[in-house]
Chain A
């Protein structure tokens, strides 16, 4: 009992201190992240990026920076963006990510052309259920599946959706989720319509997604906080410094926590072997 309390106290400190005072880190972008980044970076002008915000508040810390980084990337490159969610709780998170990124971009904008404008540069389609309806329906017509957007506008009146009609006009859909929703995109959207799919997920689910990357069904992956930080690193390399890098900042706490857990495993094993020797 006492050892558990010590572990909890040590862990609290090693997470809290770097969270309050993050130290400088330079993540090394790996192939799965690079693949996704460069695929989006090289999207043709007439193709859109569809971001599916499929996570809930519990995984916000790990997955929200990915959505923000993807939005920043798209707006830097002037790629048209469609945001949607297949989970009801994703609505508030998607709205929050859009507000954060739009503020950053529109504060710097001097003309209307520089600004990121709703309906012209991006749309927020909202939520639709059951998942099968948007997953298959968007292959036929996006406006049919989402007759009104999140803000109550008729989608067939939005200029962006006059150009982006269905999956054929979408370069890639990136599903960010703490559950198995990216697999649904692979099973239904990718298999039926051949659309490219990228995935962002929590680090504990990483092992589940590698077979799909290996088979080419997923174009790229963002695995956990590290994936988000690597994406932010690539963004900075290509587009210069941004206001905040939330994933990279949080990596400080994750770094110290990982080292602590490794040390705890080593200590635990040492005690185990010493006790076994005594017996």
Chain B
């Protein structure tokens, strides 16, 4: 029953989802709307509880067993509770149930977000520039005909994004657009067809209970 029930539920829900897409009858559409707008949201609300519970348990275990870098788990847990507290009681601009300000300095959720989350996230992403430059220098070699083609295409697309060069050689941006619009689109479409067919067959296998990886492989 532990395996059969989720399989039957998955099949029924999958069929309902498909029927709603093809049958415009009001009763079917209303049922689908209700399912999507109410049931799906409730299920997702539970995933938040699961997520928060899981992160607390993971880091608490790490601290308890003093695993590698366990000190950082304190940072995660303190940040989690502090941000949640400020967000829940301080509101968006610090004027919630509890006033989140000392004098003129407000430490509301938006201030924390703009001054901490954004710079930290942007810093991590900006490191990519260094990896790309280093990789381009060491790995981008004209070893064979295909690599030469790739190099030429990359040069044109990169140079076209440089405004002074684009103004100097007015045809360059159009050649770059053509590369993206024609050879790139052709290749991407082929890949997309392949991927979509793969997704379709995997979805059918899941609905019919052939693929059971999501049940823990049972």
B partners with A: yes
Where chain B touches its partner, the secondary structure class is helix
Task: Tell me which of B54-62, B71-79, B116-124 binds A.
Answer: B116-124
CB distance from B43 to the nearest CB of A (A): 8
Which of B33, B119, B126, B161 is the most central at the interface, judged by chain A CB atoms within 10 Å of its CB? B161
A104-112, A113-121, A132-140 - interface stretch:
A132-140
Interface stretch of the complex, out of A44-52, A162-170, A237-245, A256-264: A256-264
Q: Is the pair A61, B185 in contact by a Cβ cutoff of 8 Å?
A: no
Q: Give A264 Cβ to nearest chain B Cβ, in Å.
A: 4
Q: Mark A78-90, 1 if CB is under 8 A from B, else 0.
A: 0000000000010
Residues of B within 8 A of A236 (CB): none
> What's the dominant secondary structure at chain A's contact region?
helix
Report yes or no: B158 in contact with A262, Cβ–Cβ below 8 A. Answer: yes
Q: Which of B68-109 contact A (CB under 8 A)?
A: 92, 109
Report if A272-B141 is in contact (Cβ < 8 Å); known contacts: A210-B185, A258-B159: yes
Shortest CB distance A37–B (Å): 16
Chain B, residue nearest A14 (CB) = B133
Interchain nearest-CB distance for A124 vs B (Å): 10
Chain A interface residues (CB < 8 Å from chain B): 3-4, 7-8, 11, 15, 25-28, 30-32, 56-61, 89, 92-93, 95-96, 129-130, 132-133, 136-137, 140, 144-145, 150-151, 203, 206-208, 210-211, 213-214, 224, 226, 229, 251, 254-255, 257-262, 264-265, 267-269, 272
25 residue pairs bridging A and B, Cβ less than 8 Å apart: A3-B137, A7-B130, A11-B130, A28-B170, A28-B173, A57-B121, A60-B118, A92-B109, A132-B40, A133-B37, A137-B33, A140-B33, A206-B180, A207-B184, A208-B188, A210-B180, A213-B181, A229-B163, A261-B132, A264-B137, A265-B136, A265-B151, A268-B141, A269-B141, A269-B142
Chain B contacts to A: CB under 8 angstroms? 33, 36-37, 40-41, 44, 92, 109-110, 113-114, 117-122, 124-126, 129-130, 132-134, 136-138, 140-142, 151, 154-155, 158-159, 161-164, 166-167, 170, 173, 177, 180-181, 184-185, 188-189, 192
